[in-house]
Structure 1
Amino acid sequence: MHLYLHIPFCKQACHYCDFHFSTSLDKKEEMVSAIVKEMAMQKDYLNASPLKSIYFGGGTPSLLTKGELARIFEAIHTQYSVDADAEITLEANPDDIDSKALATWKATGINRLSVGIQSFDGQQLKFMNRSHDAKQAENCIKQAQDAGFDNFSLDLIYGIPSESHEIWQQNLEKALAFDIKHLSAYCLTIEEKTVFGHRLKKKKMQPIDEELSAKQFEMLLSETEKWGLEQYEISNFSKPGFHAQHNTSYWFGEPYLGIGPSAHSFNGKQRQWNLANNALYIKHILSENKLPFEQENLSSTERANELIMTQLRTKWGLNVYQLEEFGLDLNAFEKSLLLFEEQGLVQNKSGRLTLSGKGKLQADYIASELFFD
């Protein structure tokens, strides 16, 4: 079982981000109190199963103070059993990383960092409205390594508008030269309710260049292979033994509990999600003693389609025999699958489906065509 905690605060809004957060830190102390209380209210959701992973996401969890982190960890260990070798990840921004913060995180039990570098180029960082600069992007990696954080991941973004691929090549070389154990690389997307989304609507920004993004994805595959990182999911690469246990649990449909505003939970058959409003989340929990979530029961079709969407993205692939457990008619699925095999987009080895290199560029399309109606 797995635990996710959403910390909904940021210093400033990145122009591409559509996650739930607030740039006002006024309610941070109350939010921590509400998160602590929600953990007690939700303690039976995971049926007392030990936690294999804990993930602090956001927002920007690295904004939490030493005292706030201590309160949250005390609540975790009070309400849940935690495996001795549990992966405990904190998302961190480069400008929040210093020797004091690193020592605090290590002392609280955090054993993995996910650092939002996004780019080592100053102009690209300004374009995305990131809160750190190019120098901080490089310095924070060395600081984390010196503090003993061997298990950490870097995030990079490709497909950023550019006249050439030179900056992306430099970003990859800089990141990989640090001998990192994990890299997450995402194509820039323009979501409707973001600054970039508004700019695109007003024609102050061009749509993402798909040809440029596809070429940079190919460069990503080439460079990570050269440096000994395995692509174990379309956007994630790691050295052996360093793949993200928490994220992998999502892709394989393992139960998890989400705490905090907008956080999602899944118990195998039902999905629920908390209200994405800081003030109302705090009010419901602290003042009204209510859990502010909506819930849905997943049909066999929905559960099967989720497996197709998530497992097909991984190196382990989709187990066709697992789909048979849902009692669905596989005829349409098998016809679409055969077509993708003939096109060289999907490989079928004894009922285990994986995407080819060419197929990975069309992963979402292939999954949607394999979906059950």
Structure 2
Amino acid sequence: MAGIYIHIPFCRQACHYCDFHFSTSMKHKEEMIEALMTEIALRKDEMNGEIVETIYFGGGTPSRLSPQELEQIIGEVYKHHAVAEAIELTIEVNPDDLIEGDPDKLLQEYKAIGVNRLSIGIQSFREEDLKLMNRAHNAGEALKCLETATKYFDNISVDLIYGIPGLSDEAWKQNIETALSFGIPHISSYALTVEPKTALEHFIKKGVIDDPSDDQAARQFDILVEALGKHGFVHYELSNFGNPGYFSINNSAYWQGKKYLGIGPSAHSYDGTTRSWNIASNPKYIKSLQQGELPLERETLTMKDRYNEYLMTGLRTIWGVSIDRIRSEFGPAFSDHLLEQSQAHIREGYLKLEEDEGETLLKTTAKGKFLADGLASDLFLLNLQES
């Protein structure tokens, strides 16, 4: 399979914690849409004829574009690619965009253009959290958004953030229960992190906001895992929980190392051996494509790079890391290194080896799940000579 990610680099306002590429100015919206469509056309051969099974509009905030504008971009994908009949077509939306004007009409128009999955950036149902993060919506709009969205879509994912300064464990439990009360089948949840050069970092340095607590984040992660597990959710990736049949096909492809094409400023692409990324500048991106040039850089991943990336993504998921795949794809030196390096973490109860239909898999335990990224980094191959 192959997937296409389309980055829409516009937001109503800047969230204090966000370091993604976006602009709050919509001044050059039409030129951006034309540039996106041009990039899709110029890169039509990069999929090598593979069937596109997912289209994902991320950002930024894709719901800043109208359904008619999104339809233009979707049409360009269909024009240049073979698209699966049962495609997963996701759009990220913010509550303030969804309920502005006539939400029923907007949601019906999304369905009419082929959108069949919504990813809604709720983040919190608490007014104080939303203000701290400088979200564009309020608590009432978060509730109204879900009340309306669930009338038209069953495949909905909600984003929630934990580890927010001032967010008690009880309030966090209430956030989870509120999302579940709408019958939401998928939840993506992340710890609040302090990214460099964000407003959040500035406010913490100035003492305006408390520094997020690692202990609080770990504790609230455990609360999340327990609560969603009781409601039948599968914890299939470190930050993602879904009812059976509602896993994100698009994101699962990333974590399983499948090909994807990234369209738009700052978007990344991967074809199995090569990674590329577009320039993170709206004016430069538009100008380059107006001149018929792709605004991207490429790098060919070394065997060591691919091995390390497989560890990082694999340990975050329920599928784990296949020792047999490493042996066949990278060589016995790599699999022997991994088995040796993982022994200490296995003894400490953070990792485990499992047999599944004759295949040996390295996975995180319940104790090690929250530490998956750190465990993978510790297992990275740094000095082994490639053969």
Q: Give the TM-score normalised by the residue count of structure 2.
A: 0.94
Aligned: 1:360 with 2:369: yes
Residue equivalent to 2:29: 28
Correspondence for 1:320 among 300, 318, 323: 323
The match for 1:245 is 249
The residue aligned with 2:199 is 195
Q: Of residues 124, 130, 135 in structure 2, which corresponds to 1:130?
A: 135
- Asked if the contact 2:150–2:182 (Cα under 8 Å) also holds between the matched residues in 1, the reply is no
Q: 1:174 is matched by which residue type in structure 2?
A: T
One-letter amino acid matched to 1:352: L
Residue of structure 1 equivalent to 2:233: 229
Q: 1:121-270 counterparts in 2 under 5 A?
A: 121-147=126-152, 149-162=153-166, 164-270=168-274
Q: Take 2:182 and 2:104, find their aligned partners in 1: how far apart are those partners?
A: 18
1:291 is aligned to 294
State yes or no: 1:7 paired with 2:8: yes
Shifted more, 294-303 versus 343-352: the winner is: 343-352
**SS state of the match for residue 362, structure 1?**
helix
The answer (yes or no) to whether the contact 1:272–1:295 under 8 Å persists in 2 is yes
Q: Percent identity?
A: 46
Q: What do the CA deviations read for 1:46-71 (whole angstroms, capped 9, x no partner)?
A: 11111010000000001111321121
1:306 shift after superposition: 0.4
Separation of aligned partners in 2, 1:132 and 1:205 = 20
Distance 2:67 2:150 in 1: 20
Distance change >3 Å, CA 257–CA 321, structure 1 → 2: same
Distance 1:274 1:365 in 2: 28
Find the aligned partners of 2:367 and 2:94 in 1 and give their Cα distance.
33
Determine the C-alpha separation between the residues in 2 that align with 1:30 and 1:8: 12
Amino acid at match of 1:233: E
- Within 5 A, what are the aligned runs for 1:340-355? 340-350=345-355, 351-355=360-364
Please tell me whether residue 104 in structure 1 is matched to residue 109 in structure 2: yes
Q: CA deviation at 1:363?
A: 1.0
Q: Distance in 2 between matches of 1:34 and 1:28?
A: 10
1:84-107 residue CA offsets vs partner (Å, 9 max, x unmatched) = 011100000011111121011100
Aligned-pair CA distance for 1:307: 0.5
User: 1:338, CA displacement in angstroms?
Assistant: 1.2
> SS of the residue aligned with 1:276?
coil
Question: For the residues of structure 1 that align with 2:168 and 2:4, how far apart are their CA atoms?
Answer: 41
Paired residue secondary structure (1:166): helix
Counterpart Cα distance in 1 of 2:188 and 2:127: 20
Is 1:55 paired with 2:61?
Answer: no
Residue number in structure 2 paired with 1:85: 86
Aligned partner of 1:70: which letter? E
Equivalent residues of 2:129, 2:167 under 8 A apart: no
Among 360, 379, 386, which residue is 1:370 paired with? Answer: 379
Deviation at 1:362, TM superposition (A): 1.3
Alignment match, 1:75: 76
What is the alpha-carbon distance in structure 2 between the residues aligned to residue 103 and residue 227 of structure 1? 29
Shift of 1:31: 0.2
2:165–2:211 contact (8 Å) kept in structure 1: no
Residue-by-residue CA offset, 1:206-246 (whole Å, 9 max, x unaligned): 32101111110111011101111110111100111100000
Aligned length: 371
Q: Distance in 1 between matches of 2:67 and 2:175?
A: 32
RMSD of equivalent CA atoms: 1.1
Q: 4+ residue stretches of structure 1 with deviation over 6 A?
A: none
Worse overlay, 162-171 or 104-113: 162-171
Whole-Å Cα distance in 2 between the matches of residues 210 and 296 of structure 1?
Answer: 34
Q: Tell me the residue number matched to 2:344.
A: 339
Counterpart CA distance in 1 for 2:373 and 2:77 is 36
**2:317 maps to 1:308:** no
Q: Once structures 1 and 2 are overlaid, which stretch shifts more, 330-339 or 11-20? A: 330-339
Q: C-alpha separation between the residues in 2 aligned to 1:205 and 1:329? A: 48
In the TM superposition, residue 163 of structure 1 has moved relative to its aligned partner by 6.3
| Kept in 2: contact 1:99–1:143 (CA 8 A) | yes
CA contact (8 A) 2:11 2:61 kept: yes
Which has the higher mean CA deviation after the structures are superposed, 356-365 or 56-65?
356-365
Would you say the 8 A contact 1:301–1:328 is kept in 2?
Answer: no
